[in-house]
Amino acid sequence: MSASSPRLEREFETLTVMVELHCLSAHGTAAPPCPDCRSLLDYARARLDRCPFGADKPTCAKCPIHCYRPAERELVRRIMRFSGPRMLWRHPLLALLHVLDGLREPPKKRPKPG
């Protein structure tokens, strides 16, 4: 990621693991992610790189700005619903940190560009 914080890098790592878990199950790829899932991860990386909140960004579910297009937002929601419970067994630390990130209060308003 370009010029990102450790928190945003961890958020992208968590999403990557979730997408790979989903891809392995849904698409049966031997080495996930498949091209469609890779495209989704590239899209998510671009969105994170441009997030106006930077390191103060809340989880996407609590964010006052929904920067994903509706189709991608719904797909990520489905992937997280599938992968979330599996993360507890396969990547418990990432799962715990994601839950803790979800407890962060969302910013009250959009930061000014600058």
Domain boundaries, the chain: 39-105
Per-residue pLDDT of 79-107, as tens digits, reads 999 999 999 999 999 999 988 988 888 77
Q: Which of 7, 4, 16 is nearest to 90 (CA)?
A: 16
The mean pLDDT of 55-60, rounded to a whole number, is 83
pLDDT of residue 1: 43
| Percentage with pLDDT > 90 across the chain | 58
Q: Which two tokens stand for residue 59?
A: 């989880």
**One-letter amino acid for residue 34 of the chain:** C
Give the list of residues 6+ apart from residue 25 with CB closer than 8 angstroms, or none.
Answer: 82
